[in-house]
Amino acid sequence: MTAAVFFGCTFIAFGPAIALFLFTIAREPLRVIFLIAGAFFWLVSLLLASLVWFISVQISNKDSAAQQKGLLIFGVVLSVLLQETFRFAYYKLLKKANEGLLTLSQEETMPISIRQLAYVSGLGFGFMSGAFSVVNILADSVGPGTIGIHGDSQHYFLSSAFMTMAIILLHMFWGVIFFDGCERQRWWAVAAVVVSHLVVSYLPEPAVRGQPGAHLRHPAGDGRLGLPHRRRLPEEPQALPHLQGHRLPACQPPAQITPRGTRSPARARTHTHTHTHTHTRSFPIHLLFKVNVFNLKAAGNSWK
Amino acid sequence: MNASDSEEDSYDERTALVPSENPVLPSYRPEPDLNPPLDPPTKRFGVSGRAGTAPVDGGGGGSDQEADVDEEELTLKYGAKHVIMLFIPVTLCMLVVVVTIKSVSFYTEKTNQTLIYTPFTENTASVGRRLLNSVLNTIIMISVIVVMTIFLVVLYKYRCYKFIHGWLILSSLMLLFWLSFMYLSEVFKTYNLAVDYPTVGVIIWNFGTVGMICIHWKGPLQLQQAYLILISALMALVFIKFLPEWSAWLILGAISVYDLVAVLSPKGPLRMLVETAQERNEPIFPALIYSSAMMWTVGMASPPEAQRSGQETDEEAEQSSRRAEPENRQSQLFPEDDLEEDRGVKLGLGDFIFYSVLVGKAAATGGDWNTTLACFVAILIGLCLTLLLLAIFKKALPALPISITFGLVFYFSTGFLVQPFMDNLAAHQFYI
């Protein structure tokens, strides 16, 4: 099941981009090089934006959630602006390298036109942006865990995959429009790219603000989505919310897993019914809980 | 397991010369009147890289005259193709290492065993002590490498070819048989497959024997390339397992610096080796350089000297023990298709190994894919820049410094700066 989700989301996120790469770019070495250079430029822009954000977080009030949120939005805006700046810088670099390429190829015309460069550089930006956004989520989707078990949205993986695909294709389009705008001095096109990038980056925010679903409570993931975070062990059961006994259906206890020895279902049922709220964490619910946590813990142990 | 002798040999062979030699050799032909480009010394396998330069000059000069301009053009035209021809094996090697690290937990288990080259443990209480131990480990490792390189230069100078031959064969024997057996057994353990010893024996025997033949004698190009990638990956995995954390990063940095010094400074051991090989006009030993020539004629006997062109790399490796490329070149005087056949770039296996160590360590620590991706892109861009410089300067250049510097910068910055940022963004589903 998890393998299906993993492959499905991977192909959703990267399918069109990989198809574009295979059919139009893979055969031409020069285009591949410029694609990777585009990816590198995006990476550098992200690095700078993260640096600024990190410094701003360090000097801010870490306890105030609103301030952190504000800083994050500032970070997003800054990152978008830096990405577009680096796109412009890449454009300038490519223009400057025109003569060099002409000399290298000893031909009258350039081996690669500025439009092709716009396309591959946009796709390079897109690949890197998409990969950075989604690859950790994909890695989490392989592992044991249940998405949405704590009440969050079950469609986190799918929506992330679709969003990534959209972002990759958008970066490619933005690259083409941006370079064309720079070539023909159409600055409104460049401005449109920047504005639309800002809009797209900020877009999910209002949509998810009201929903408890897609919004992780703790940014780094503490198992709240039902996933063992790649870098942390899930919290001990005591820290997780107290489950209401009546919310879960009475189910047959998995007799083979009980740590306290097997109990008959009948006895367990009476156990649940006759005890108060505080005892709802008994068998079988407690065991379900334990089993789940055990799985998470085991996964967490094998995780780094 | 402390390093055994064979591992020492292998280590020495592979790593001692690796940093110093920079086997990035483009197949550019120099102008006849230009100084012959130094063959990029094969990093590790010192002798291999160097010997090829000498013949290059002599033969190259004569034949080059008529095809100077054509050669330049064609050389430059294929520059991008060479870059891709190196991107693919480097990517494959890194991919093998990363996939192994992520799936086989053996290579990331904490172990108290270390190589004897890094005797100081990092399990100390204080940060200062740990840093001190790492620095000491690095100093020891780099000294061993320097000593081994100088030893090889001395051996080569005094023509102890048999010794070098034996050393290389012993190293590749150890890699191909013992390390691959270890790898296979760990893979079986990970996937809980029960395989009997006779089967494993047959598999390892076949794998190793074909590998020895392909690498040291003759074989199909792609099979040889595959074997070189595999043994580089195996060696990188050994380093990832047995080098302590901080020491590994310091060693990577120090080796890039040493590489730079050894190849570019006038008294550097690698440079001396190259010059000696040039003086003697000698072929190279079947060293472990990855060669990616476009066309490969298999099984052609090669005359002992390769006088040839500026294609350092191709010629060097080819020599007596290897493939037919030099022959090809020598026979004709550069008709167009021959020029195309000659194109090929070489990169020393040491570069492969240290690139893979960097990416593998990024994958092993933190379990975070963003860092791994960032290091991967950084290394590829570094390689691209190095090849660009190679095209400009047309002489042997160290392949480690730029890539490793980018890789280290991106590893630490992605790990500490970008990752929290991306985590926060993912939590709020911002897509930038």
Residue B112 phi/psi, 5° resolution?
A: -85, -10
Tell me: pLDDT of A225 over 50.
Answer: yes
pLDDT of res. A250: 57
Asked whether the beta carbons of B179 and B208 are under 8 A apart, the reply is no
CA-to-CA distance for A94 and A86, rounded, in angstroms? 12
User: Distance from CA of residue A269 to its chain's centroid?
Assistant: 42
B337 touches chain A (CB under 8 A): no
From the list B57, B64, B259, B342, the catalytic residue is B259
Q: In which domain, by residue range, is A22 found?
A: 2-201
- Chain A contact set for B430 (CB, 8 A): 72, 76, 201-202, 204-205
Sign of CA dihedral B164, B169, B172, B177: negative
Does B420 sit within 8 Å of A167, measured CB to CB? no
Q: Is residue A294 part of a domain?
A: no
Residue A278 domain-assigned (yes or no) = no
Q: Are strands B346-348 and B289-291 parallel, antiparallel or unpaired?
A: antiparallel
Most confident among A73-82, A199-208, A233-242 (mean pLDDT): A73-82
Min Cα–Cα distance to chain B from A145, Å: 17
In angstroms, the CA A107 to CA A111 distance is: 8
CB contacts of B411 in chain A (<8 Å) are: none
Is residue A23 assigned to a domain? yes
More confident call, A228 vs B106: B106
Q: How far is CA A66 from CA A60, A63, A152, A201, in A?
A: 11, 9, 21, 19
pTM for the full model?
Answer: 0.73
Mean confidence (pLDDT) of chain A: 76
- Reading the block at residue A9, the tokens are 């989301």
pLDDT by residue for chain B (432 residues), tens only, comes to 333 443 434 444 443 333 333 444 443 433 333 333 333 333 343 333 333 333 333 333 334 444 455 555 455 456 788 889 999 999 999 999 999 999 998 888 877 777 778 888 888 888 899 999 999 999 999 999 999 888 888 888 888 888 888 888 998 899 899 999 999 999 999 999 999 999 999 999 999 999 999 888 888 988 989 999 999 999 999 999 998 888 999 999 999 999 999 888 888 888 887 778 778 877 555 555 787 775 444 333 333 333 333 233 333 333 333 333 333 333 333 333 444 445 577 788 889 999 999 999 999 987 689 999 999 999 999 999 999 888 888 787 888 999 999 999 999 999 999 999 998 888 887 878
| pLDDT tens digits, A6-28 | 999 999 999 999 999 999 999 98
Question: Which of A107-111, A176-180, B24-28, B85-89 has the least mean pLDDT?
Answer: B24-28
* A121 lies in some domain: yes
Give the number of domains in chain A: 1
Per residue in A276-286, pLDDT tens? 444 444 444 44
pLDDT of A234 strictly over 80: no
Q: Between B257 and A210, name the one with better pLDDT.
A: B257
- pLDDT (0 to 100) of residue B215: 87
| B428 at A interface, C-beta within 8 A | yes
Chain B residues within an 8 Å CB radius of A199: none
Active site residue B351: yes
C-alpha dihedral over B330, B332, B335, B336, to 10 degrees? -40
Active-site residue among B39, B314, B342, B351? B351
Q: What is the pLDDT of residue B253?
A: 95
